[in-house]
């Protein structure tokens, strides 16, 4: 089968790989219809994350079941599905407490297990999540990142009527704009330095667009909130700069939830750090997209709101490509050649 395999730093290859086969009674094989590029994929491509040399990459996917192990129940050949790419050990203290996202051995396909940048992918049956007929494969490829965002919002104490600021309008931020509304936000501020991404944020429901390139984001937020600040600030850019600036956005007693991952050290100026202390902020980290019972309410909720249209990913999908365009696409992404929001590969193309 055709696949994208990662061999080393910025060395991803489009090549033939063996098709997965049923080896365990719980195995399910899925024909991949659509698979997205995640920010963590780009980081691994830049040698900032773990993987086995030559590993088939990718973990955000949807497709059709082609083969089912004898021990799998409730899933049959022909089913339209997505799959939770995350493995948990089930044995560590956190798993025993039902805190699956805190598993000591958490890993995803594309790192230590073959991933979904391929024509076929294999997962255990408990990872397979059925899709309703009105959620297409391209949309369903974003169930996993949507679940990541939902996981973060479930950690907060946001109440209906809240005001929320989302810092960074990549795919996670654009999903956060929509999840904020689902959780009852009356006003959502989208913050970025790229006007084209802010325009997409408007399309998916942002009420106020803030370009922070010339005027600091917190100054603009204070203008819009009569000097008070927002109830919740979401850091979704994963930038060392915004990871400090986000502390100046919430009101006194407000919250910050980190969904982005900065892959370098963060130096926090005194002004921003003092906002944590003086404003008595609640600062939350959020990791992965799973909870008990596995894969978690994040997955059920994401699919539900995609089926109702309250999560609309169509404006986010900037590129729909063949797998063979993978090597050049990753090169363009890290060298900022072109304007990308969400890239989907369709293995059947070509």
Model confidence pLDDT, tens digit, residues 73-124: 999 999 999 999 999 999 999 999 999 999 999 999 999 999 999 999 999 9
Residue 264 has pLDDT above 90, yes or no: no
Phi, psi of 113 (to 5 degrees): -130, 145
Distance between CA atoms of 259 and 284, rounded to whole angstroms? 9
Q: Which CATH superfamily is domain 2-142+313-345 in?
A: Medium-chain alcohol dehydrogenases, catalytic domain (3.90.180.10)
Tokens 């979904």 sit on residue: 116
Using pLDDT thresholds of 50, 70 and 90, give the confidence band for residue 350.
low
Query: pTM score > 0.75 for this model?
Result: yes
Q: What is the pLDDT of residue 138?
A: 98
As its CATH architecture, domain 147-285 has: 3-Layer(aba) Sandwich (3.40)
Q: What is the pLDDT of residue 63?
A: 98
- Proportion of the chain above pLDDT 70, given as a percent: 100
- Proportion of the chain above pLDDT 90, given as a percent: 91
Q: What is the pLDDT of residue 287?
A: 97
Residues 6+ apart with CB under 8 A from 50: 44, 107, 111, 112
The stretch 168-189 carries a mean pLDDT of: 98
Weakest-pLDDT range from 40-44, 238-242, 314-318 = 40-44
Using pLDDT thresholds of 50, 70 and 90, give the confidence band for residue 214.
confident
Q: What is the pLDDT of residue 339?
A: 82
Q: What is the pLDDT of residue 121?
A: 98
The stretch 7-13 carries a mean pLDDT of: 93
Where in the sequence of the chain do the CATH 3.90.180.10 domains occur? 2-142+313-345
Where in the sequence of the chain do the CATH 3.40.50.720 domains occur? 147-285
Residue 262 has pLDDT above 90, yes or no: no
Can you give 156-174 as a three-state secondary structure string?
CCCCCCCEEEEECCCHHHH
In three-state secondary structure terms, 143 is: helix
Q: What is the pLDDT of residues 267-296, one digit of tens each?
A: 999 999 999 999 999 999 999 999 999 999
Q: What is the pLDDT of residues 293-315, one digit of tens each?
A: 999 999 999 999 999 999 999 99
Phi, psi of 100 (to 5 degrees): -65, -30
How many other C-beta atoms can be found within 10 angstroms of the C-beta atom of residue 293?
Answer: 9
Using pLDDT thresholds of 50, 70 and 90, give the confidence band for residue 43.
confident
Tokens of 50: 């773990």
Phi, psi of 174 (to 5 degrees): -65, -35
Residue 50 has pLDDT above 80, yes or no: no
């Amino acid at each position: 089968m055709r696949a994208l395999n990662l061999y080393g730093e910025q060395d991803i290859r489009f090549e033939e790989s063996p098709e997965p086969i049923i080896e365990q009674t719980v195995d399910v094989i899925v024909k991949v219809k659509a698979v997205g590029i995640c920010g963590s994929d780009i980081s691994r491509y830049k040698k900032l994350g773990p993987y086995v040399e030559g590993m088939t990459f990718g973990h955000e996917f949807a497709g059709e079941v082609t083969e089912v192990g004898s021990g799998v129940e409730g899933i049959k050949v022909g089913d339209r599905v997505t799959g939770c790419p995350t493995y948990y050990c089930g044995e560590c203290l956190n798993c025993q407490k039902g805190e699956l996202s805190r598993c000591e051995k958490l890993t995803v396909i594309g790192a230590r297990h073959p991933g979904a940048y391929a024509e076929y992918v294999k997962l255990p049956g408990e990872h397979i999540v059925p899709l309703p007929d009105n959620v297409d494969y391209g949309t369903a490829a974003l169930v996993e990142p949507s679940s990541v965002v939902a996981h973060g919002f479930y950690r907060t104490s946001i109440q209906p009527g809240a005001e929320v600021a989302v810092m960074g309008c990549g795919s996670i931020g654009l999903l956060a704009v929509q999840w904020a509304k689902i959780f009852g936000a009356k006003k959502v501020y989208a913050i970025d330095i790229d006007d084209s991404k802010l325009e997409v944020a408007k399309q998916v429901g942002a009420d106020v667009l803030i370009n922070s390139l010339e005027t600091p984001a917190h100054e603009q937020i204070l203008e819009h909130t009569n000097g008070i600040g927002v109830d919740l600030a979401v850091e979704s850019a994963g930038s060392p700069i915004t990871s400090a600036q986000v502390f100046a956005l919430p009101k006194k007693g407000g919250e910050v939830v980190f969904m982005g991952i900065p892959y370098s050290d963060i130096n926090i100026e005194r002004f921003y750090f003092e906002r944590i202390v003086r404003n008595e902020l609640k600062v939350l980290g959020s990791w992965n997209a799973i909870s008990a019972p596995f894969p978690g309410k994040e997955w059920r909720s994401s699919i539900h709101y995609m089926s109702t249209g309250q999560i609309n990913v169509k404006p986010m999908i900037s590129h729909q490509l063949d797998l063979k365009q993978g090597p050049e696409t990753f090169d363009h992404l890290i060298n900022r050649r072109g304007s990308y929001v969400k890239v989907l590969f369709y293995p059947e193309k070509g």
